[in-house]
Amino acid sequence: MSLTRKSLRLIGLFMVFAMLTALVVSGVGAQDGKILVTGLNMVGADPDNSLDPSLSSTVQSIQILDELYIGLTHLNEINAAVEPGMTTDWTISEDGLVYTFNLLQNVPWVRYNAETGAVEEVADESGAVRYVTANDFITGITRTLDPATGGDYAYVLAPYIVNGAEFNAGEAAAEDLGIRAVDDWTLEITAPEAVGFAINIYGLWMARAQASWMLDEFGDSWVEAENRQSYGPFAMKSWNHDQDITLIKNPFWPGTDAVPQPALDEVVFRLLDDTAQFAEYQAGTMQAAVPPSAEIDRIKADTVLSEQYYAGFDSCSLYYGFNWEKAPFDNVNIRKAFSLAIDRDSVVNDVTRDGRIASRWYSRPGITGAPTLENNPDLGVSFDPDGAKAALEAGLADLGLSSAADLPPITLGFGDTEYNNLVAQAVQQMWAETLGVDVQLSAMETTTYFDVIEVDAPQIFRAAWCMDYPDANNFLYETTRSDSPNNYTNWSNAEFDALVDEARVSTDQAARAEMYARAEEILVAEDYALAPIFWYVTRQVVSPDVARTYSAIGLERYEKWDFAG
C-alpha cells in the first residue's frame, strides 16, 4: 500500500497501543482503610518544603506540622480558643512573667517503619521508649532561636522569651534563654514582659518539641520520611517530593479532648496547583480540594457542587499602601480621595468573585482583638464617590493645583500575578472614573517587587499581610507601628503608637478590642495611611462522604475528620 496509508496506519497503531497499555496498567487498586485524599498547593515562587518546625513559614507546611507535632497550647479550629495541647494545664505567675506548663506524660516519639508498614515507638540504645519531655521542648525552642539555624519565624517567638531576641541576634548564649525543665514533665518559660497573648505564641509551630538524638544522627536529612520522628496524632508515612505527603494515624497518641485520636487511617496530601486539584476532585480521585477562584461562579451555580463548596477563614488582608514620602501622598486629602474612590464591593463581586470580603479596615476580623463587621459596622472606610471628589478638591487646593491633570505622575506597583493584575486594572479604572486621575500600573516581577518596596516603595503599592498568630497585635503593632520594618508607608502617628503599645500588654480583651478599633479608625479613616481592599477566604470543595469540622482559623484539624456512614 502507499506510503501515505502506511504512515497513517503507523500513527494509528501507536495511539491504540498507547491507550491499551495505559488501560491495562492504570487499574488503580482499591485502597483499604479510611484514606482521605486532599490537596496542598505547594507550587509557587516560594515553595517551602522543609516541613521543619524551626524553618517552615507557609500555611501549607504548618498544616502538616500541626498534625505531626502538637504544641504546648493548641488552637481550637472552630472557635479559635486556646486549649491545652501537649499539656494537661498551665499556670501563669502573678506578675504574668512565668508560665509553667504541665506536660502530658508518657507520650512516645514514634516513626513509621516502611518494612513493617506500621508506626512504632522510638527506643533509645537500651531499648527503653523515648517519651516527649520538657527537654525536647527546650531542644526545639533553642534550635528555632539559634541564629545558626536561620529560621524565618524565630522573630515571632523571640520577644516572648527572656533573652530570646538577644540569643537570636547572636548576643547571648543558649543557656541564657528563659526556659527551664523543672523536671521531665514540667516546663517553665519566662517572658521579658507580661503580654496577654503570649500563651498563644508558645503554642505556635516554631515552639514544638524536637528530638535531639534524631537531629544528631540524621542532620539535615531528618525531615525525610524514613528518618523523621514525631509524636502527634499522625506520623509521616511517605514524602515524595513535589508529589505527595502521606500521613498515617499514630496509634500511640493518647488522644485528648482538644486533640483526639484520629478516625482516619491515612491522609494523603497531593501537591498540585488548584486547577489540577479540582480536575482530580471532579474525577473522583480526591475527596477534598481547593478549586481555582475562576471556577467559583460555576461551582456556585451547580446544584451538586455548590453543596460541597465552603469558603473558610483566611487570615490575609490586602491593602494598597500610600508612601507618605512621595508627593502627592504626603497630603491627607489626596490619600483620602484615593481610598474613598475604591469600590471594594465591585472588586470582590465583579473581579475576584470567589467570596473575598470587602474590607473596611486592616486587621482581619475573627482574630482576637480585631474589630468585626457585626460589632463595628460603621468603623473604617468604604466606597464614597462624592466624598472622594470633595477630598480631591480639598487636596488640590492644599497643593495649590487647579485640576487633577496637574498632579505629578502617579504609579501603582504590584507583583505580576493574575489577580493582582485584575484588581489593579479595576482600581485604576475606578480612579479614572471617579477622580479623573490616570494612574500608571507597574507590574513587576514578584521577587524584585518585594525587594524594591522595602527600600523605596512607589506612591501606591499593593501589599498583604497574613497572620503569624491570631491576634490583632500581629497586624497593628508589628506591621503598622511607626518603627515597624514592615511599615513601607513611612507613616507615623503618636496616638496610634500609644494605643497599640498599651493594647499589646493589656489582658482585658474588651478594652483591647476598643483600643484596636480606635487604632484602626486612625489608620484608615483619619490618617488614611493605607486603603484596605479585601480580606481573603479559603476555598474548599469537600466530598459529601466526608464528615468534617469547619475551621475558622485557616488550618484544618484532620484528626477530627472522618468518612460519613
Write out the binding residues for other proteins, residues 96-155 only, by CB under 8 A.
Answer: 147-148, 150-152, 154-155
Spatial contact of 399 and 328, defined as CB atoms under 8 Å apart: yes
Given 183, 226, 297, 307, the residue binding other proteins (CB under 8 A): 297
What is the grid cell recorded at 77?
A: 479550629
Q: Which lies closer to other proteins via its Cβ, residue 345 or residue 495?
A: 345
CB 77 within 8 A of CB 551: yes
| Number of residues lying near other proteins (CB under 8 A) | 110
Question: Applying CB under 8 A, which part among 117-125, 135-143, 300-308, 372-380 lies near other proteins?
Answer: 300-308
Closest to other proteins by CB, 90 or 112? 112
The phi-psi region of residue 413 (left if phi > 0; otherwise alpha if psi is between -120 and 50; otherwise beta) is beta
Give the range of 49-57, 121-129, 248-256, 260-268 binding other proteins by CB under 8 A: 49-57
Q: For residues 305 and 522, which CB has a smaller minimum distance to other proteins in the complex?
A: 305
For residue 37, the cross-strand partners are 268
Q: How far is the CB of 151 from other proteins (least distance, A)?
A: 7
Q: Which of 78, 81, 114, 464 binds other proteins (CB under 8 A)?
A: 464
Q: Confirm or reject binding of residue 292 to other proteins (CB under 8 A).
A: yes
Q: How near is the Cβ of 431 to other proteins at its closest, in Å? A: 12
Which of helix, strand or coil describes residue 283?
helix
Is residue 262 a contact partner of residue 70, using CB atoms and an 8 Å limit?
no
Site for other proteins, residues 159 to 188, rule: CB under 8 A: 168-170
Residue 542, all three cell numbers = 469537600
- Which of 252, 465, 469, 558 binds other proteins (CB under 8 A)? It is 465
- For residues 214-233, which are near other proteins according to CB under 8 A? 217-224
Candidate list 307, 445, 501, 502; residue touching other proteins; CB under 8 A: 445
All three cell numbers of 210, joined, read 524536637
Nearest CB to other proteins, comparing residues 150 and 255: 150
Contact with other proteins (CB under 8 A) among 36, 52, 229, 341? 52
Told to check if 242 binds other proteins by CB under 8 A, we report yes
Cell numbers for 428: 485604576
- Sign, Cα dihedral of 501, 503, 506, 507: negative
Residue among 82 and 294 whose Cβ is closer to other proteins: 294
Pairing, β 440-444 against β 411-415: parallel
The three-state DSSP-derived secondary structure of 470-526 is CEHHHHHCCCCCCCCCCCCCCCCCHHHHHHHHHHHHCCCHHHHHHHHHHHHHHHHHH
Beta bridge partners of 230: 110
Yes or no: say if 533 and 362 are a contact pair by the CB < 8 Å rule.
Answer: no
Residue found by looking up cell 466624598 in the block: 387
44 binds other proteins (CB under 8 A): yes
| Interface with other proteins, residue 25, by CB under 8 A | yes
Q: Find the binding residues for other proteins in span 535-564 (CB under 8 A).
A: none
Q: Should residue 441 be labelled a site residue for other proteins when binding is judged by CB under 8 A?
A: yes
Q: Exactly one of 283, 304, 405, 510 binds other proteins (CB under 8 A); which one?
A: 283
CA distance 240 to 246: 9
Minimum CB separation from other proteins for residue 141, in Å?
16
Whose Cβ is closer to other proteins: residue 411's or residue 549's?
A: 411
Q: Site mask, other proteins, residues 335-374, x = CB under 8 A?
A: -----------x---xx-x---------------------
Q: State residue 458 phi and psi, 5-degree precision.
A: -70, 180
Measure the CA–CA gap between 165 and 197, rounded to whole angstroms.
18
389-418 positions binding other proteins, by CB under 8 A: 411, 413, 415-418
Q: Which is nearer to other proteins, 65 or 515 (CB)?
A: 65
- Beta bridge partners, 288, equal 542
User: Applying CB under 8 A, does 381 fall inside the site for other proteins?
Assistant: no
Instruction: Pick the binder of other proteins from 100, 135, 186, 425 (CB under 8 A).
Output: 425
Using the minimum distance from each CB to other proteins, give the nearer residue, 58 or 87.
Answer: 58
- Are 161 and 190 contacting, i.e. CB atoms less than 8 angstroms apart? yes
What is the footprint of other proteins within residues 476-535 (CB under 8 A)?
Answer: 485-486
Beta-strand (E) ranges in 329-434?
357-358, 411-415
Q: Grid coordinates in use for 494?
A: 503618636
Q: Does 35 bind other proteins (CB under 8 A)?
A: no
Buried/exposed code over 64-97 (b: 16+ C-beta within 10 A; e: otherwise): bbbbbbbbbbbbbbeebebebbbbeebeeeeeeb
The amino acid present at 533, given as its one-letter code, is: I
- Sheet of 234-240, strands arranged across: 35-40, 266-271, 244-249, 234-240
Stretch that binds other proteins, among 453-461, 501-509, 519-527, 545-553 (CB under 8 A): 453-461
CB of 490 closer than 8 Å to CB of 534: no
Q: How far is the CB of 456 from other proteins (least distance, A)?
A: 6
The stretch among 68-76, 255-263, 282-290, 382-390 that binds other proteins (CB under 8 A) is: 282-290
